[in-house]
Amino acid sequence: MLNEEIKNILGHSQKHGWVLEPDAKRLLKLVGIKVPKFSWATTIDDALGFAHQNKYPVVAKVVSPEVIHKSDVAGVALGITDDGSLTETFERFSTINGFCGMLVEESLSGLELIVGAKVDFQFGPVVLLGIGGTGVEIYRDTVLRMAPLRPEDAASMIKGLKAHQLLEGYRGADPINLQRLSDLLITFSELVMQIEPCIESIDLNPVMCSADRCVVADARIMLNG
Amino acid sequence: MNLQPLFEPKTMAVVGVSFSNDRHPANIIYNKAHLRYPLKVFPVNPRGGSLLGERVFTDISEIAEEVDLAVIAVRADAVPDVLEECIRNGVGGATIISGGFAEVDRKDLQDRLVAIAREANFPFIGPNCLGIYVPSVVDTFFLPGERMVHPDPGNVALVSQSGGVLVDQMVKFAEQGIGLSLAVSIGNKALIREQSLLDYLVADPRTNVIAFYVEGFDKNEGRDFVLGASQCPKPVIVLKAGKTDAGSRAVSSHTASLAGDHEVFSAVLAQYGVVEASNELELVSFCESLSCYQKAIGGSVGIVTGSGGHGALSVDVCSDHGLSVPSLSKTVQMKIKEQLSSSIQTIAALGNPIDLTGSAVDDDFVRAARELAHLPEIDAIIVLLLPYLPGITSDLGARLSQVSRRESKPLVAYVPHVEKYRMLIEGFELNRIPVSSSIEGAVLMVEAIRRCQPC
C-alpha cells in the first residue's frame, strides 16, 4: 500500500509538521480514497484553466504551510461561478502569509461527515467517524474504534452515531451510500496503520457523502515530531 | 513464565521479618500464613535466631525444602540481592511488598529487578504492592487477619493496580455475597502486568470472571490487552481511574481533540467486548452478575415488582442504561392474568413492568416470572422484591431461581440487604442468581450481561 510516492509526500512534508492539502489529497487518491478533481494553481491562468476544463462552480482554498486552519484566515471560497470571482479570490489569497498557491476543485454536495485518526498512547491508531463540518466539536457526535477496522467495526460505527438516521435517509432524503462509507473507513484505517509512525492525527473533514459516493473535501494530516 | 507458584504455593519464605516490630509487614504476613494457611512458611532475616518460638533462617539457601513463593519485604536497596538469592535457590516466584522504586523516582532500581528476573525467567508481582490473596491458599497482604474482610471463595478474580482499592472491593464483595477466586495487587507492575495475569486467569479453572482496576497502560499496551481479552472466553471487566485528561493540551485537529484518552479507552473496550465499569457500584454489580451469567444477551428486560413505584424507577434506570422494557402483548397479559391469585387479578398492572401489588403472594411472582421467561423477546428478568409485603415468604428466592434455571433465562433480583431478609437473599445467591441491594444495581446487572460482547 505504501509506495514511494506516498513516502515522498510524507518525507517532504516533515519540514512543515503537516501535509499541505493538495499533497494530502494526492496521498489519499494514491490509496484509492475518493477526492474531488483538483488543481494546485500557482498562477491565475492555472486556476482559470482548471475551472474552464471542469466547469463552474468551483471551490478555492489557500495553500500555505503557515495556515492550518484555512477558514480562520478567510482562506476558503465556496461556490465560485465565474472568472472574475476566481481571479479576485486568487489575488486575495496571494496576500495570505506563506501563500504558495491556490487549490481549485470541483464543488461537492452531500452530508458532511468527519473521518479522522489519532495515534493513541495506550491503544495505537484509532479511527473516528462523526457528524462533520465546522460544527464538529459542537455536536460532538462521534464514534471511535481501534484500527485496523474490520467490516463489522465500520458497520457498528455508523450505527453508533446519534444522528445515524441522517445517514440512512431521514424524512424522505436519499440515504447516503453506506457501502462507500464503510469502504472508505476500512481503507483509511489501513492507511493509518501503515503511516502510523509518521502521524499524530488526521482529519478528513468534511467528507461529502451522497447517494452514490463519499468524497474527501478537505484533509489535514498532522505529522509527529 | 510460570505463575503457578505465586497462586498455588505449598511453601513460602517471608524475607525481612523484624525482631522488634510486630507490626512490620513481613511479621504480619508471616503470622497469618503460619497460623491460618495450609502452607509451610519460613521466616528469613540475616540475623537468624527465632521469632515467636520458630526458627528464623538467615538466608533462603538455609531452607531445606524447595520454596514456591518468596514474599520480599526488605528495604528497596536490598531487594535486588534478595531477588538474586531467590533465583539462585530455585524459588518459584516472588511478591515484592517493598516500596521505594518507580513511585519515588527510583525507576533505575526497579529496572534492575526486571532485568534480573527476565534473565532468569523468574516471575514477581510488584514492587510496592500488597501481593496475592487466594482464599484458603495464600495471603501476602500485610493487613492483620482480624482487620480484613474475607469474601466467600468463588469465581471472580480481581486484579488491581492499587492495593487500597482491592481491599475495599473485597469488603464490597463480602457485603454483596460475591465469591472471589483470587485477588492480586500488582502495584508498580514492573514485570507482571495485566496482560500476563489475563493469560494466567483464562486458564485458571477457579476463575470465570476477570475484573481489573487499571490506572493506565503503557505505550500500545492497551491494544495488546483488548486483543487478548477479546479472545478470552470469560467475561473481562475493567474499572479505569483517571477519566479526565490532565490539563487541556493544545490540539491542532478535531480528531485529536475529540478522541481524548478516556473516550478512546471506553470505545476500544466496548469494541472488543470488554465490559467497562465506570465506577465502583458498576464494578461490583457487573462482577456479581457475570459471576452467574457469562453468555451475552440482548437488552430487552421484563420487570416483575410488588410496588408500582419500584417498577417506574427501574424503567427510568433501564432507559438511562440503554435497556428497553417492551410492552407485553394482550395475549401474554391475559395468560399471566389467568394465573394470578384472584385477589390481585383486577388490580395488577400487566403491561411491563408487571406490578403485582402489595397483595401478591409467592405463586404470583413465580407465575409472572415464568411467563416472562417463556417470551423470546425478553432477554432478562428483573424481580423487585419487597420482603416486608405480607404475602411474600423467604422461599421465594429459591423458587424464582428454579424458574430462571429451568427456562435458561437470566434473572436478577432486588432485595434490600438487611439481616432479617438473609434467607430470602440466600435463596437466590446459593442458587447462583445475583441479588442487588439497589434498583440501580439490579439494572446494572442486566447491563453487564448485555455488554460482555463486542459492540
Q: What is the pLDDT of residue B251?
A: 67
Helices (H) and strands (E) counted in chain B, each on its own, are 17, 19
One domain for residues A116 and A210: yes
Q: What is the pLDDT of residue B176?
A: 92
User: Alpha-carbon distance B455 to B446, whole Å?
Assistant: 16
- A81 DSSP 8-state letter: -
User: Alpha-carbon distance A43 to B342, whole Å?
Assistant: 90
Q: B101 with B188: CB under 8 angstroms?
A: yes
ipTM above 0.90, yes or no: yes
User: Alpha-carbon distance B304 to B291, whole Å?
Assistant: 23
One domain for residues A141 and A217: yes
In this structure, whether the domain defined by B1-128 belongs to CATH 3.40.50.720 is answered with yes
Q: B243 with B262: CB under 8 angstroms?
A: yes
Q: B403 with B339: CB under 8 angstroms?
A: no
Q: For B433, phi and psi rounded to 5 degrees?
A: -115, 125
- State the CB neighbour count (10 A cutoff) for residue A26: 18
What is the number of structural domains in chain A?
Answer: 2
Q: What is the mean pLDDT of each run of 10 residues along chain B (455 residues)?
A: 97 97 96 95 96 95 97 97 98 98 96 98 97 97 95 97 96 95 97 97 97 95 96 96 63 87 95 96 96 96 97 97 97 97 96 97 98 97 96 96 96 93 95 96 97 85
Q: What is the pLDDT of residues A136-170, one digit of tens each?
A: 999 999 999 999 999 999 999 999 999 999 999 98
User: Alpha-carbon distance B242 to B261, whole Å?
Assistant: 9
Can you identify the CATH homologous superfamily of domain B296-451? Succinyl-CoA synthetase domains (3.40.50.261)
One domain for residues A132 and A46: no
| CATH number for the domain that contains residue A123 | 3.30.470.20
Q: What is the pLDDT of residue A3?
A: 87
Q: What is the pLDDT of residue B284?
A: 96
Q: For strands A214-216 and A199-209, give the pairing.
A: antiparallel
User: Alpha-carbon distance A191 to B232, whole Å?
Assistant: 29
Q: Which amino acid is at B163?
A: G
Q: For B411, phi and psi rounded to 5 degrees?
A: -130, 135
Domain closes at, from A57, A89, A106:
A106
User: Alpha-carbon distance B125 to B94, whole Å?
Assistant: 6
Question: A122 and B256: CB-CB below 8 Å?
Answer: no
Q: What is the pLDDT of residue B4?
A: 97
One domain for residues A82 and A143: no
Helix runs in B49-162, H state only: 79-88, 107-120
> What is the residue range of A164's domain?
4-34+109-223
One domain for residues A140 and A73: no
Task: Report A:85-114 residues touching B (Cβ under 8 A).
Answer: 114
Cell of B230: 477479546
Cell of B119: 534473565
Q: Is A140 on the interface with B (CB under 8 A)?
A: yes
Task: Say which of B268, B272, B455 has its CB closest to residue A126.
Answer: B268
Q: Is A71 on the interface with B (CB under 8 A)?
A: no
Task: Say which of A116, A122, A144 has its CB closest to residue B217.
Answer: A122
**Cis peptide before B127, with omega less than 30 degrees from 0?**
yes
Unique residue bearing C-alpha cell 483517571? B242
Question: A203 and B255: CB-CB below 8 Å?
Answer: yes
One domain for residues A64 and A170: no
Cell of B341: 391469585
Chain B positions touching A204 (Cβ under 8 A) are none
One domain for residues A42 and A96: yes
Q: What is the pLDDT of residue A172?
A: 87
Q: What is the pLDDT of residue B242?
A: 80
Chain B positions touching A192 (Cβ under 8 A) are none
User: Alpha-carbon distance B134 to B364, whole Å?
Assistant: 42
Closest among B439, B231, B239 to B325, alpha carbons compared: B439
Closest among A176, A182, A142 to A33, alpha carbons compared: A182
Cell of A114: 468527519
Could you tell me which CATH number the domain at B149-292 has?
Answer: 3.40.50.261
One domain for residues A116 and A214: yes
Cell of B68: 514456591
One domain for residues A121 and A207: yes
- The length of chain B is 455
One domain for residues A201 and A128: yes
One domain for residues A11 and A86: no
- State the CB neighbour count (10 A cutoff) for residue B44: 27
One domain for residues A42 and A100: yes
Q: Which long-range contacts (CB under 8 A, 24 or more apart) does B109-115 make?
A: B109/B76, B109/B77, B109/B79, B109/B80, B110/B188, B110/B190, B111/B190, B112/B80, B113/B79, B113/B80, B113/B83, B113/B190, B113/B191, B114/B190, B114/B191
Mean predicted lDDT score pLDDT of chain A: 95
Domain extent listing, chain B: 1-128, 149-292, 296-451
| CATH number for the domain that contains residue A61 | 3.30.1490.20
- B432 DSSP 8-state letter: T
Question: A201 and B268: CB-CB below 8 Å?
Answer: no
Domain closes at, from A106, A141, A163:
A106
**Tens digit of pLDDT per residue, chain A (225 long)?**
678 999 999 999 999 999 999 999 999 999 999 999 999 999 999 999 999 999 999 999 999 999 998 988 999 999 999 999 999 999 999 999 999 999 999 999 999 999 999 999 999 999 999 999 989 999 999 999 999 999 999 999 999 999 999 999 988 889 999 999 999 999 999 999 999 999 999 999 999 999 999 999 999 999 996
Helices (H) and strands (E) counted in chain A, each on its own, are 8, 11
Question: A222 and B218: CB-CB below 8 Å?
Answer: no
